[in-house]
Amino acid sequence: MRIVARVSDAGGTKGGRRRRLSRAWIAWLLLAPTLLVLVPFPLYLLATIVQNSLFDWTLTMPWLGKLFVGLGNFRTILGDADSLHSILTALIFTLGTLTAELGLGISVGHLLIRETRLMSTLRGFILLPLVITPVVVGLLWRMMYQGDLGIITYLLGVLGFPKMTILAHLQLALPAVVVVSIWQNAPFLILVTVAGLKALPTEPFEAALIDGASGWQVFRLITIPLLRPLLYIALLIRFIDAFRQFDLIYIMTGGGPGIRTETISMHIFREGFLVFHMGYAAALTIVLIFVVNLFAMLYFTTAARGSRTGVR
């Protein structure tokens, strides 16, 4: 009887392995069409960009051919004040928008978590900027910032400030664009915060209230640690989106006045499609990809360290 039992157990184990292998093969077969579309094309585009970044060539002068310069384009970036300024502008724009959006997301999200008719209506209205395309947002705010007919300029004049075209002001142009980006994208962090707060377990909060914890202590020691993984993912998505921002800035200022609001995406556009320095534009694109992936690696490293130490 024992021998029969062992044989049956071995047969059951082999059958289970076969079923798991067959399910794995079915899963890979179902994923194959998507992987064939998503994997080869980005790799091909990345390889093409890397290859072009090693050459100095101008699209409007094809008779000159491609001159292999190796890492010469990257050395040029390190010595080009305009390129370094565009990277710095992109970082300032990104950090400014993310800081304000995170603060608004956490604060407004706490206000909108209540399940009342008013809060439900407000949640619907707050999400409206997300459904408007950046081109339309840029046109609307550019008209409001306009010096003679803009409503914002008019209100500033009522408060005693001199009349000016805000987007043409050297010191105010970039903050004005940051405000517009915050207005459009802060609802995303608010939505993430509301969804995260509703999904949190109630037991830690009840225990903290029984122990006599204040509202600030509950928020700092319970709410934020529990929301941290979700906020990290939301900030990663917003960093990638904000650092490569192009359409909103192109519509509102075109990178001006001068190059005051020219981010790295705007600089790539100018070098690649206005000046047609294709090799140099490809090198700038590599820098853009590197910075975004560096931030993503920092995020995953921080998340992995937090999971190992038990603090998320």
Alpha carbon dihedral 195, 198, 204, 210, in 10-degree steps, equals 140
Average pLDDT over residues 120-147: 87
In the prediction, which pLDDT does 3 show? 46
Say yes or no: 194 and 303 in one domain.
Answer: yes
Buried b / exposed e over 118-150, threshold 16 CB at 10 Å, is eeeeebeebeebeeeebeebbeebbebbbeeeb
Say yes or no: 23 and 58 in one domain.
Answer: no
CA dist 40 and 45 (Å) reads 9
Buried b / exposed e over 155-169, threshold 16 CB at 10 Å, is eeeeeeeeeebbbeb
- 198 falls within a domain: yes
Buried b / exposed e over 221-230, threshold 16 CB at 10 Å, is ebbeebbbeb
Which DSSP letter does residue 168 get? G
Say yes or no: 28 and 125 in one domain.
Answer: no
Say yes or no: 58 and 33 in one domain.
Answer: no
In the prediction, which pLDDT does 188 show? 92
Say yes or no: 32 and 149 in one domain.
Answer: no
- Rg for the chain, CA atoms, rounded: 26
For residue 165, what are the contacts with CB-CB under 8 A and spacing of at least 6? 145, 146, 147, 153
Say yes or no: 24 and 86 in one domain.
Answer: no
CA dist 97 and 104 (Å) reads 10
Average pLDDT over residues 39-60: 88
- 45 falls within a domain: no
Quick count: other Cβ atoms within 10 Å of Cβ 306? 15
- 47 falls within a domain: no
3-state secondary structure of 56: strand
Say yes or no: 32 and 141 in one domain.
Answer: no
- 65 falls within a domain: yes
- 43 falls within a domain: no
Number of independent structural domains in the chain: 2
CA dist 87 and 85 (Å) reads 5
Quick count: other Cβ atoms within 10 Å of Cβ 289? 14
CATH number at residue 204: 1.10.3720.10
Say yes or no: 214 and 144 in one domain.
Answer: yes
Say yes or no: 83 and 21 in one domain.
Answer: no
Q: Which helix (H) or strand (E) holds 221?
A: none
- The whole domain housing 195 covers 52-309
Tens-digit pLDDT profile for residues 63-121: 777 888 889 999 999 999 999 999 999 999 999 999 999 999 998 888 888 777 777 77
- 184 falls within a domain: yes
- 227 falls within a domain: yes
Tens-digit pLDDT profile for residues 205-221: 888 888 888 888 888 88
Average pLDDT over residues 151-162: 86
Say yes or no: 8 and 120 in one domain.
Answer: no
CA dist 10 and 2 (Å) reads 12
Q: What is the mean pLDDT of the chain?
A: 85
Say yes or no: 161 and 31 in one domain.
Answer: no
| Burial degree of 187 (CB within 10 A; 0-12, 13-18, 19+) | buried
- 141 falls within a domain: yes
Say yes or no: 122 and 31 in one domain.
Answer: no
Phi, psi at residue 238, to the nearest 5°?
-70, -35
Instruction: Give the strand pairing for 67-68 and 55-56.
Output: antiparallel
